[in-house]
Amino acid sequence: MVQPDQATLTHFPQAITLRWEHRTLQFRRPATTSRGALTSRETYIVHAACSQGTGEGECCIMPGLLKDITPAEMQYWCDEVMQHQTLTLPGMPSPIRFGLESAVIAAQSKGDKRWDSPFSRGEEGIRIHGLIWMADIPTMLQHMHKAIAQGFTCLKMKVGAHPFTHETEMLQAARQAFPNAEIRLDANGAWEPREAHRNLEVLARLGISFIEQPIKPGQWQALAELCRHTPIPIALDEELIYTQNIRQMLETIRPQGVVIKPSLHGGLLAAKALAEQAESQKISWWVNSALESHVGLETLAEWCGLVAPHTLHGLGTGQLFVNDASKRLCLEGEFLRFN
């Protein structure tokens, strides 16, 4: 697997200076999951500079999953990195590490892209799923029709907020309308272990291809039991955020897949290590975005284009916020392309 250059993140070859700015992003429509709804989100954009060039990175805040990042905390870590000229500093929060890695790599890249690949050269696209946010069921069905019309062949839906019988009726309607579409689900830990067993049996009859985090994180034995007997492949998501010993967790739970979010899972180098650990245990993996602005999304897309260009990922389209848009990413059917 090709990787970000760890040596240049451990000891910067040119002196790096850093500054940051705070931004508030407004969603085009509420981003709703079983955990609740967001209408805006806070983020920090980091600007790195060295003798070779400049670069940006994003330190995004995920409400309800990680603690907020204060301006004082942002300044502290930028000062520490500039003083020591390294990113191998213990205790750095995951979103800050991801943003600083992204910015430093971009500043040192000697060009307009972080890594050279067919994707970053605009020669190939990355296949992504069409994300269907939680809403009332008629609206969700409407969004499914729109996604299929756009060219998506894989739909990912948020479940767990409505009564399960209502959601299965919606999925039955979707399966009848789109018999050839791949359907993935994300429960965001909404179910109790016992009801998860029953729900998965029902969903299996609808041909669901994957479900992410059916129960709350921290229940390793219950999740291991679920993964042993599930009729639908299970991917871990939130579980990875709160686990220090990834190897032990994967060996204990034995999931069928893991969803990697570099901004929540320790940054790009940690994401690479997580992917390699999954591969060593023959566990599928893919990358999902975590509501980043175009700055973080472009980093993720470039990285996916480098390390796993032919995997179906859960990247955003760069059209999530009314006051933010990517000038470098465009969507052609279900393929995200780099301009």
Q: Which residues are catalytic?
A: 158, 261
Per-residue tokens: 67: 């603690």
335: closest CA among 113, 119, 29? 119
Q: Are the C-beta atoms of residues 167 and 195 closer than 8 Å to each other?
A: no
CB atoms within 10 A of CB 136: 11
Kindly state the helix (H) or strand (E) to which residue 53 belongs, with its residue range.
strand 53-60
**Count helices and strands in the chain by DSSP H and E runs:** 10, 13
Residues, the chain, total?
A: 339
292: closest CA among 266, 323, 270, 320? 320
Sign of CA dihedral 25, 26, 31, 35: positive
Alpha helices in 181-267 (DSSP H): 193-204, 220-229, 246-253
280: closest CA among 313, 258, 310, 262? 258
Cα separation, 107 vs 50, whole angstroms: 6
3-state SS, residue 126: strand
End-to-end CA distance of the chain: 24
